């Protein structure tokens, strides 16, 4: 049976020692009361909840799964009670607006709480995650009445929420959705259609579910310009806020999936379901991006969450499992064999896990801080800069963190050898659970197109230059620091590579847009490595500056930074070559001769 212990020491390093978060939050009025003590207290409380309440439901939830009967869905034993406890403790609205029942704490705190919840039980975490997403979207686009009616109950856990986008024939291409919304006399709408892949789409946790549904009004423009967003409650809401009549949105079935089996993935049939337009006619795509941008970072976090718990168990197993002797001579003469952590190849796997996880944690915290600044900083330029960095790096967070998370979970399973393949040991569940994160909320291929197309080339590289400036400043600041030269040199080189590669793709793309698509996935990984290389160098700089290191934490941090540079960054040399291979090799083969 796997175990989980929240990585509080590393979280505190990232927040207090590396980012110095208090310094950044101070100028943001709304967080005037958020001091380091409060942050640590929240982290500790949430670690107890994650470790003691929901982690014990992780394997049982996977085994039991959700069950469907006549429109109703039963979640695994314990899920409902844990959701009740979680809501009552106020975790649902941790970083939400206090005017509507939130606690008004910074996103950067929410991201760390989210990591722990996801490590403990990713399937369970889907339910509060979707509620939060729905509340967030209503907050951004709903009128005052909607906000007052729905958000407090979504954040109190009395009700839950969903996001209903996908249809069987329309996943990536939401412009093709067919769900229709006919106007009714009272200003509401009658929605008919079918939605699939709806996470938390039906369950037994709450007395009501507030669905946010994309549909098309009559005579809507073609494609994504014709999409509108509607609030469609499972039970219509009475004027006093109590649930009333059952609405015509009914779960037709749930999917049987590779993983996250405790999370209900519903087919929802809408048959003249009553809905309420939010965000204005044909404005659904904009509203949807509000939902999706937050969801993309949260999805990226699943890569870290599952990677972290996989690493912890692989490490424990590697220290405990004895098998063969070290190639350079016996290391544990008192035991029948050496623990497998003495083998260099096992170390390679563990260090890869550690380096990707801690890099992801730094990235997520840094990005969450930009989100807090974007929303709350008094200075316009500071807000714009943060907003640009968030826009640029959200697809990187989603794709790079989940691709790495999948590798990390596979390595954790590999460390276990044959036991890794057996359900009882828990490692294969992490592989199955994390796999979906590369697919949903826009496949990682779509993230790559978003990055190179919309975020980099569309503004002539302006946003990328803002990030490049941070890297350049760091390099300048550390160029005289000899202890940092092992990082500064390769970082500068990689920064130039990214710049040069971006220019190359931009030039090629002007001749032939397919070149952009051909380069996209490899380009996203190249940028991801630049981001992590910058973050690792920056963390190493902080760790190197410490004069005291009682427990060896800083030594380990510097060592892991070195490992990142020595073993993970070399991928960039392959990425550059693949990008330069161009689009012709991908596209010129006639599809008819693809297979024989």
- The residues that are catalytic are 441
Between 507 and 586, CB nearer to a second copy: 586
**Interacting span for a second copy (CB under 8 A) from 37-45, 50-58, 316-324, 479-487:** 316-324
Quick check: 444 binds a second copy (CB under 8 A)? Answer: yes
**Interacting span for a second copy (CB under 8 A) from 232-240, 290-298, 459-467, 547-555:** 547-555
Which of 113, 227, 392, 518 lies at the binding interface for a second copy (CB under 8 A)? 518
Site string for a second copy, 197-226 (x = CB under 8 A): x-----------------------------
CB 273 within 8 A of CB 205: no
Rounded to the nearest whole angstrom, what is the least distance from the CB of residue 291 to a second copy in the complex? 17
Residue 442 φ/ψ region, left for φ over 0, alpha for ψ in the -120 to 50 degree band, beta for the rest? left
Residues 6+ apart with CB under 8 A from 268: 164, 194, 195, 196, 198, 201, 202, 211, 249, 250, 251, 252
Rounded to the nearest whole angstrom, what is the least distance from the CB of residue 571 to a second copy in the complex? 5
Quick check: 103 binds a second copy (CB under 8 A)? Answer: no
Q: Tokens in use for 248?
A: 């015509």
Give the residue among 539, 589, 587, 578 at the shortest CA–CA distance from 17.
539
Rounded to the nearest whole angstrom, what is the least distance from the CB of residue 525 to a second copy in the complex? 11
Helices (H), 14-89: 21-25, 36-49, 58-64, 79-88
In the DSSP assignment, the letter for residue 238 is P
> Across-strand partners of 235?
246
CB 87 within 8 A of CB 157: yes
Between 469 and 580, CB nearer to a second copy: 580
How far, in Å, CA of 428 to CA of 63, rounded?
Answer: 12
Quick check: 333 binds a second copy (CB under 8 A)? Answer: no
Which of 132, 153, 435, 463 lies at the binding interface for a second copy (CB under 8 A)? 435
Rounded to the nearest whole angstrom, what is the least distance from the CB of residue 161 to a second copy in the complex? 20
How far, in Å, CA of 368 to CA of 371, rounded?
Answer: 5
* Subset of residues 154 to 193 that bind a second copy, contact rule: CB under 8 A: 166, 169-173, 176
Give the residue among 437, 404, 446 at the shortest CA–CA distance from 123.
437
- CA distances to 69, 276, 364, 478, 581 from 542, in Å: 56, 51, 18, 11, 39
Site string for a second copy, 243-282 (x = CB under 8 A): ------------xxxxx-----------------------
**Interacting span for a second copy (CB under 8 A) from 31-39, 232-240, 289-297, 571-579:** 571-579
CB 67 within 8 A of CB 74: yes
How far, in Å, CA of 539 to CA of 563, rounded?
Answer: 13
How far, in Å, CA of 409 to CA of 308, rounded?
Answer: 9
Element (H, E) at 180: strand 180-183
Quick check: 431 binds a second copy (CB under 8 A)? Answer: yes
Quick check: 555 binds a second copy (CB under 8 A)? Answer: yes
Rounded to the nearest whole angstrom, what is the least distance from the CB of residue 104 to a second copy in the complex? 30
Which of 100, 159, 189, 440 lies at the binding interface for a second copy (CB under 8 A)? 440
Site string for a second copy, 354-373 (x = CB under 8 A): x-------------------
How far, in Å, CA of 552 to CA of 558, rounded?
Answer: 10
Rounded to the nearest whole angstrom, what is the least distance from the CB of residue 214 to a second copy in the complex? 16
Site string for a second copy, 574-593 (x = CB under 8 A): xx-xx--x-x-xxxxxxxxx
Between 107 and 361, CB nearer to a second copy: 361
How far, in Å, CA of 565 to CA of 491, rounded?
Answer: 9
Rounded to the nearest whole angstrom, what is the least distance from the CB of residue 386 to a second copy in the complex? 29
Between 476 and 555, CB nearer to a second copy: 555
* Subset of residues 9 to 48 that bind a second copy, contact rule: CB under 8 A: 9-10
Rounded to the nearest whole angstrom, what is the least distance from the CB of residue 455 to a second copy in the complex? 15
């Amino acid at each position: 049976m796997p175990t989980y212990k929240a990585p509080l020491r590393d979280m505190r390093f990232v927040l207090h020692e590396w980012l110095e978060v208090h310094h950044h939050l101070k100028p943001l009025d709304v967080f005037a009361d958020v001091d380091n003590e409060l942050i640590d207290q929240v982290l500790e409380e949430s670690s107890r909840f994650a470790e003691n309440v929901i982690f014990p439901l992780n394997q049982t939830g996977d085994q039991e799964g959700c069950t469907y009967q006549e429109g109703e869905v039963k979640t695994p034993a314990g899920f409902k009670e844990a959701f009740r406890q979680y809501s009552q403790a106020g975790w649902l609205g941790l970083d939400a607006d206090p005017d509507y029942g939130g606690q008004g704490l910074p996103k950067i705190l929410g991201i760390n709480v989210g990591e722990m919840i996801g490590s403990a039980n990713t399937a369970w975490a889907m339910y509060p995650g979707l509620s939060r997403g729905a509340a967030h979207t209503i907050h951004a686009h709903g009128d005052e009445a909607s906000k007052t009616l729905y958000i407090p109950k979504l954040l109190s856990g009395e009700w839950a929420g969903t996001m209903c986008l996908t249809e069987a024939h329309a996943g990536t291409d939401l412009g093709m959705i067919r769900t229709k919304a006919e106007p009714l006399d009272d200003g509401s709408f009658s929605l008919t259609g079918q939605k699939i892949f709806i996470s938390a789409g039906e369950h037994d946790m709450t007395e009501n579910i507030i669905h946010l549904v994309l549909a098309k009004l009559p005579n809507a423009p073609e494609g994504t310009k014709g999409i509108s967003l509607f609030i469609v409650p499972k039970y219509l809401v009475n004027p006093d806020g109590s649930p009333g009549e059952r609405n015509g949105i009914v779960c037709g079935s749930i999917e049987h999936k590779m993983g996250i089996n405790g999370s209900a993935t519903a087919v929802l049939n809408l048959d003249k379901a009553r809905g309420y337009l939010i965000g204005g006619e044909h404005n659904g795509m904009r509203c949807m991006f509000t939902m999706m941008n937050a969801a993309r970072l949260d999805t990226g976090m699943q890569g870290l969450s599952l990677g972290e718990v996989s690493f912890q168990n692989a490490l424990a197993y590697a220290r405990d499992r004895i098998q063969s002797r070290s190639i350079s001579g016996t290391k544990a003469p008192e035991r029948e064999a050496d623990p497998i952590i003495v083998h260099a190849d096992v170390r390679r796997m563990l260090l890869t896990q550690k380096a990707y996880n801690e890099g992801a944690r730094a990235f997520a915290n840094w990005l969450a801080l930009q989100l807090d600044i974007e929303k709350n900083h008094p200075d316009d330029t500071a807000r714009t800069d943060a907003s640009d960095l968030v826009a640029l790096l959200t697809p990187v967070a989603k794709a790079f963190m989940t691709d790495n998370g999948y590798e990390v979970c596979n390595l954790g399973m590999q460390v276990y050898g044959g036991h890794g393949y057996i359900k009882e040991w828990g490692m294969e569940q992490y592989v199955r659970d994390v796999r979906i994160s590369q697919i949903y909320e826009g496949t990682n291929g779509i993230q790559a197109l978003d990055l190179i197309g919309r975020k980099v080339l569309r503004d002539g590289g302006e946003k990328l230059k803002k990030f490049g400036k941070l890297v350049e400043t760091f390099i300048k600041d550390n160029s005289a620091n000899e202890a940092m030269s092992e990082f500064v040199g390769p970082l500068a080189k990689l920064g130039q590579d990214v710049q040069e590669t971006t220019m190359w793709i931009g030039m090629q793309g002007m001749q032939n847009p397919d070149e952009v698509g051909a380069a996209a996935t490899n380009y996203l990984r190249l940028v991801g490595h630049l981001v992590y290389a910058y973050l690792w160098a920056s963390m190493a700089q902080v760790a190197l500056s410490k004069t005291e290191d009682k427990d060896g934490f800083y030594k380990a941090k510097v060592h892991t930074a070195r490992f990142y540079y020595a073993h993970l960054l070399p991928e960039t040399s392959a990425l550059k070559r693949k990008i330069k291979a161009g689009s012709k090799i991908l596209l010129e083969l006639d599809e008819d001769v693809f297979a024989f």
